């Protein structure tokens, strides 16, 4: 140490006499900075021994001065690493300067890493802040992968991350939307001795809210407060936004009030988030009600507020109020931005006001604003929805030529519109054109075209397109996840893998794994389900089963997949296989949805297996929360005794008390009773539903009406017929003729036939009487006139 210090003493005195005019704090810092810079300039070897001697005289400003003025970056970084070991200099102001140096100076990163290696080789301790600065600089440069790599390499330098380093890397990961990795890093942090702080919780709460896991966000929020860490306005705003996104606006408003009561003042962002939440939830009146209160508290309705209100009014179909508010914007000389214009253009297009939407687009360009793809896509979609496909295609070609915009969303809208109108070949041409322009199709694009191909019966082409999607994914990852399917779902297995990699310190490998998955167009389960449905409806059940088995191996099959295959099997009378799949669902941990039960009940009714259909319904009800096992048993006993009305009455009493009351099984069983020719029991179900003012479907009525006529239940037939008329249902001509003929042939109900005809005419309903019905009506009309002239 003596040999190192000697040349320093020779070159520069330890402390030069200070001039008397240097008496202020700023002067002290200026004098100390010059001394430190002189020492650094003169030092021929390691600077640490000399710096140890002057440390009592250093300050934040001195550290910053050295970073700014020391041209030798290697010495500067060595000085910085030494200063960071002193807690006094762990401040973001100094760090930000170094971040700027790394981001702006060419080769600075290489020098930084080289100095880190040199310091490590000298056996000197490196603190976490040295890597915090490095990670921040990489993130500023948009180099997330490098940031993760730097975090992983901390262990190579025997450097344990502190809370700020953990927070920074989690911030980077959340901004890249790799939430699974952020949570794994937090779990790693929790197992170390590093305690989370306010920023940690805010970052994770934000991640949960962005992935729609609001319950987990609230749990994290509660954990934060239990630890005695007070949320700030950003934390509150994030949770309020998450609740609004989950349509829990009432809870969001309560949290907003709690925020004010806790002494944490809402800012403009908070007010805008809550106002936007009310509007998106369709609670426009509530939004307009709280707006004056917000304004009294100092909130000014700016562009974001106006945009939220206009968006909400459009969604509610309150177009007159939209015009009023837009005029207010103009009157108050608030200059609309691209976002507000996009909302107006989309709303007008959705309302079918295409001329107004195009005018708004023109006004936008006259103001010097450049419409983005969102604006153009809204108009293209409006044209497609209105069936104006030529105009939509023309606009897409125009913007492509003018602005070279090749937006996947624009192509997807066109493909969907063409497929909806049966123009599948034109949609395929657009799809091919899309790839030629280097615009990659999204999952939604593939889904739209596959759905169109299935509906047009081009199942082989749809299957080929699915294989094209699968080829586009990373084979090694796909195989890895497929092999893991026996151990759980892909999502759970992937989560387990990421956690294991993080536990082993292999953060970069976990990052690469998730990013490679995100970079490929992976067929969604909706894609597979669409193709399976098309194959089933195209009577290619074996091909559908083959694709279904592939999904089972991959662990991707969901309740909709099972329901689709089960329905397909029932259509081709493979009932035994269908019920085997139904039993398999529970074994593999996929609870059958209501659609699965309704499918099985429907097909059981069509095969006149009413006891089986009823037992399936009871099994479904038995799995619902809030069920009453006693009531279900009583209903089952009544049904077995043939007391259908009592069975259904008990079930209605039970189901109407539940939150999610599903009326569909009642209508399905009513139709089933008709199909089994148990007409009297079907009528009892109809009257029971009518008594409770529950909706009876058109299919139920149109099945029951002719059966009642045939069995001679004329009073009930008229009752059902009038129910259909009052409900706005279209009565089939043959059913109308059947009822009128039956009434005309009845001596005591003949007058009702004339009454029904008068009723339909008064309602302006078009109906066609068959020649046989008209002849019968004419004959009885003449007889009636004769009876009036010559009384019997």
For 465-488, what is each residue's pLDDT tens digit? 777 766 554 444 444 444 343 333
Q: Which residue has the higher pLDDT, 410 or 360?
A: 360
Give percent of the chain above pLDDT 90.
5
Alpha carbons 609 and 667: distance in angstroms, whole number: 16
**Average pLDDT value for residue range 572-594:** 84
Contact between 555 and 488 (Cβ < 8 Å): yes
Supply 761's token pair: 């005419």
Contact between 309 and 319 (Cβ < 8 Å): no
Helix axis angle for 559-571 and 525-537, nearest 10°, is 0
User: Model confidence at 237, in pLDDT bands (50, 70, 90)?
Assistant: very high
Longest dimension (CA), the chain: 145
Contact between 410 and 376 (Cβ < 8 Å): yes
Please report the pLDDT score of residue 240 as a whole number: 92
Please report the pLDDT score of residue 57 as a whole number: 55
Supply 564's token pair: 């689709």
Q: Which residue has the higher pLDDT, 521 or 103?
A: 103
Alpha carbons 593 and 600: distance in angstroms, whole number: 11
486: enclosing H helix or E strand: none
Alpha carbons 672 and 601: distance in angstroms, whole number: 9
Neighbour-count burial of 131, counting CB atoms closer than 10 A to its CB (0-12 exposed, 13-18 middle, 19+ buried):
buried
Alpha carbons 569 and 792: distance in angstroms, whole number: 64
Alpha carbons 184 and 182: distance in angstroms, whole number: 5
Please report the pLDDT score of residue 663 as a whole number: 79
Contact between 294 and 328 (Cβ < 8 Å): no
Q: Which residue has the higher pLDDT, 651 or 4?
A: 651
Residue 695 has pLDDT above 60, yes or no: yes
| Half-sphere CA count of 352, side-chain side, radius 13 A | 4
Average pLDDT over the chain, rounded to an integer:
78
User: Model confidence at 649, in pLDDT bands (50, 70, 90)?
Assistant: confident
Residue 36 has pLDDT above 80, yes or no: no
Q: What are phi and psi of 642, to 5 degrees?
A: 85, 10
Cβ-proximal residues to 241 (8 Å cutoff; 6+ apart), any chain: 209, 273, 277
Helix intervals (H) in 472-623: 475-483, 490-503, 507-518, 525-537, 541-554, 559-571, 575-587, 594-606, 610-622
Contact between 389 and 419 (Cβ < 8 Å): no
Question: For the whole model, what pTM was predicted?
Answer: 0.60
Please report the pLDDT score of residue 171 as a whole number: 92
Please report the pLDDT score of residue 8 as a whole number: 31
User: Model confidence at 14, in pLDDT bands (50, 70, 90)?
Assistant: very low
Tell me the CA distances in angstroms from 43 to 14, 79, 214, 777, one per residue in order. Answer: 13, 12, 57, 119
Q: Which residue has the higher pLDDT, 68 or 605?
A: 605
Question: ∠ CA 378-383-387 to the nearest 5 degrees?
Answer: 145
User: Model confidence at 789, in pLDDT bands (50, 70, 90)?
Assistant: very low
């Amino acid at each position: 140490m003596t040999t190192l210090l000697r040349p320093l003493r020779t070159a520069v005195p330890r402390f030069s006499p200070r001039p008397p005019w240097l008496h202020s704090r700023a002067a002290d810092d200026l004098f100390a900075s010059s001394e430190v810079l002189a020492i650094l300039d003169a030092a021929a070897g390691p600077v640490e021994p000399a710096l140890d001697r002057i440390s009592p005289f250093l300050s934040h400003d001195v550290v910053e001065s050295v970073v700014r003025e020391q041209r030798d970056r290697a010495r500067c970084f060595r000085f910085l690493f030494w200063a960071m070991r002193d807690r006094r200099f762990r401040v973001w102001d100094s760090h930000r300067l170094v971040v700027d140096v790394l981001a702006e100076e060419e080769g600075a990163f290489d020098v930084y890493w080289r100095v880190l290696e040199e310091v490590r080789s000298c056996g000197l301790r490196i603190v976490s802040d040295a890597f915090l600065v490095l990670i921040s600089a990489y993130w500023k440069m948009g180099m997330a992968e490098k940031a993760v790599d730097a975090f992983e390499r901390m262990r190579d330098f025997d450097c344990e991350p502190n809370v700020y380093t953990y927070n920074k890397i989690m911030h980077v990961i959340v901004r890249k939307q790799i939430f699974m990795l952020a949570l794994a890093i937090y779990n790693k942090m929790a197992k170390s001795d590093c305690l989370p702080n306010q920023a940690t919780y805010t970052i994770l709460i934000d991640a949960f809210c962005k992935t729609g896991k609001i319950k987990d966000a609230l749990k994290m929020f509660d954990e934060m407060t239990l630890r005695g860490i007070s949320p700030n306005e950003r934390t509150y705003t994030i949770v309020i936004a998450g609740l609004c996104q989950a349509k829990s606006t009432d809870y969001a408003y309560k949290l907003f009030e709690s925020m004010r009561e806790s002494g944490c003042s809402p800012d403009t962002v908070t007010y805008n988030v809550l106002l936007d939440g009310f509007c998106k939830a369709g609670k426009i009146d509530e939004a307009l009600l709280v707006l004056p209160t917000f304004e009294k508290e100092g909130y000014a309705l700016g562009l974001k507020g106006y945009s939220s209100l206009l968006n909400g009014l459009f969604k509610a179909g309150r177009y007159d109020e939209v015009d009023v508010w837009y005029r207010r914007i103009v009157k108050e000389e608030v200059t609309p931005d691209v976002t507000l214009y996009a909302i107006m253009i989309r709303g007008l297009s959705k309302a079918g006001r295409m001329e107004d939407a195009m005018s708004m687009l023109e006004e936008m360009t006259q103001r010097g604003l450049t419409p983005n793809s969102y604006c153009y896509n809204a108009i293209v979609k409006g044209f497609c929805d209105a069936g104006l496909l030529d105009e939509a295609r023309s606009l897409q070609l125009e913007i492509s030529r003018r602005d070279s915009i090749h937006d996947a969303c624009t192509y997807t809208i066109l493909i969907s519109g063409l497929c909806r109108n049966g123009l599948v070949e034109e949609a395929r041409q657009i799809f091919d054109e899309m790839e030629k322009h280097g615009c990659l199709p999204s999952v939604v694009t593939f889904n739209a075209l596959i759905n169109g191909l299935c509906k047009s019966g081009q199942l082989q082409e749809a299957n080929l397109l699915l294989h094209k999607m699968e080829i586009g994914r990373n084979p090694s990852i796909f195989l890895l996840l497929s092999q893991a399917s026996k151990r759980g779902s892909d999502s759970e297995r992937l989560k387990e893998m990421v956690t294991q990699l993080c536990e082993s310190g292999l953060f970069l490998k976990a990052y690469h794994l998730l990013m490679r998955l995100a970079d490929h167009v992976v067929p969604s389960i909706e894609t597979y389900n669409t193709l399976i449905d098309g194959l089933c409806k195209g009577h290619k059940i074996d091909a559908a089963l083959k694709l279904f088995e592939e999904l089972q191996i991959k662990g991707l099959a969901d309740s909709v997949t099972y329901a689709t295959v089960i329905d397909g099997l029932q259509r081709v009378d493979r009932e035994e296989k269908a019920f085997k799949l139904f039993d398999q669902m529970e074994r593999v941990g996929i609870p059958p949805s209501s659609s699965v039960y309704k499918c099985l009940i429907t097909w059981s009714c069509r095969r006149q297996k009413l006891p089986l259909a009823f037992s399936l319904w009871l099994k479904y009800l038995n799995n619902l929360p809030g069920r009453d096992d006693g009531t279900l048993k009583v209903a089952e006993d009544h049904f077995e005794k043939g007391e259908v009305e009592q069975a259904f009455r008990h079930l209605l009493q039970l189901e109407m008390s539940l939150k999610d009351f599903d009326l569909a099984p009642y209508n399905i069983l009513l139709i089933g009773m008709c199909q089994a020719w148990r007409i009297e029991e079907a009528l009892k179900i109809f009257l029971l539903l009518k008594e409770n003012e529950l909706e009876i479907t058109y299919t139920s009525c149109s099945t029951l009406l002719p059966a009642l006529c045939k069995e001679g239940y004329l009073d009930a037939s008229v009752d059902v017929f009038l129910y259909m008329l009052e409900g706005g249902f279209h009565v089939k001509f043959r059913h109308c003729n059947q009822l009128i003929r039956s009434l005309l042939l009845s001596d005591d109900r003949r007058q009702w036939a004339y009454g029904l005809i008068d009723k339909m005419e008064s309602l302006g309903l078009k109906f066609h009487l068959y020649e046989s019905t008209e002849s019968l009506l004419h004959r009885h009309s003449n007889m009636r006139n004769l009876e009036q002239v010559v009384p019997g």
